Amino acid sequence: MISLTSYAFVSMILFSIGVIGVIARRNIFVIYMSIELMLNGVNLFLVTFARYHFNMDPQIVTIMVISIAAAEAAIFLSVIILLYRSKKSLDTDIFTTLTQGEKS
């Protein structure tokens, strides 16, 4: 039987890949996908422990997360389209209009 630790590791690795993707990549789509990766990492964690403790509550939370993530995807993608229309680019570093620093 695969140990609990392995599940935890996989979910942590998924989460970390997601975090690094959010921080390191500039393409909005990749950032979005990284966020989804993080969500899935957390979902996996929850499901694992639900099975381990024979408790259904985390399962419910997971289903909830997946459904909300689906709804969120719709909004996210439309926002990305709007952003692309305004700047003709998907590079996040371009969207700095609200900066307070010296570069404007």
Partner 1 sequence: MMDTSLLVWIILAPLLGAILNGGLYFYHIKKKPVPELVFSLIGTGTPLIAFLITLSIFLDMVDTGNTYKQVLFTWLNIDNLNIAMGFLGDNLAIFMSMFVTFIGWLIHIYAIGYMTGDNGFGKFFAYFNLFLASMLILVLADNPVILFIGWEGVGLCSYLLIAFYYTNKENVIAGNKAFIANRVGDFGFLLGLITLFFALGEVDLSFTSLEANITNASPGLLALSGFLLFVGAMGKSAQIPLYVWLPDAMAGPTPISALIHAATMVTAGVYMVARFHFLYTGIEEIGTFIAYIGAFSALFAAVIATRQTDIKKILAYSTMSQLGYMFIAVGLGFYSSGLFHVLTHAFFKAMLFMGAGGIIIALHHEQNIFKIAQHRASLPIISITFLIGVIAISGIPPFSGFFSKDAILAAAFQEGQYLIWLIGMFTAFLTAFYMFRMYFIVFIAPNKHTKSYVRTSPTITIPLLILAIGAFGAGFLNLPAVLGGEHMVDTWLAMLNSNTIHMSHFTEWVLMIVSVAVAASGIFVAYKKYSQFDVFKPEEETGLIGNKFYVDEFYDKIFVQFSKKISTFIDKTIDDKIIDGFIMQTCNQFISFGKKVATLQNANVRFYAAFMLVGMSCVFVYLYISLGL
Judged by the rule CB under 8 A, the positions of this chain that interact with partner 1 are 19, 22-26, 31, 92-93, 95-103
Nearer to partner 1 (CB atom), residue 67 or residue 96:
96
**DSSP track, the chain:** ---HHHHHHHHHHHHHHHHHHHHH--BHHHHHHHHHHHHHHHHHHHHHHHHHHT-SHHHHHHHHHHHHHHHHHHHHHHHHHHHHHHHS--BGGG--TT--SS--
Shortest spacing between CB 5 and partner 1, in angstroms = 17
Nearer to partner 1 (CB atom), residue 33 or residue 59:
33
CB atoms within 10 A of CB 68: 11
Shortest spacing between CB 41 and partner 1, in angstroms = 14
Shortest spacing between CB 30 and partner 1, in angstroms = 11
Shortest spacing between CB 1 and partner 1, in angstroms = 26
Nearer to partner 1 (CB atom), residue 5 or residue 100:
100
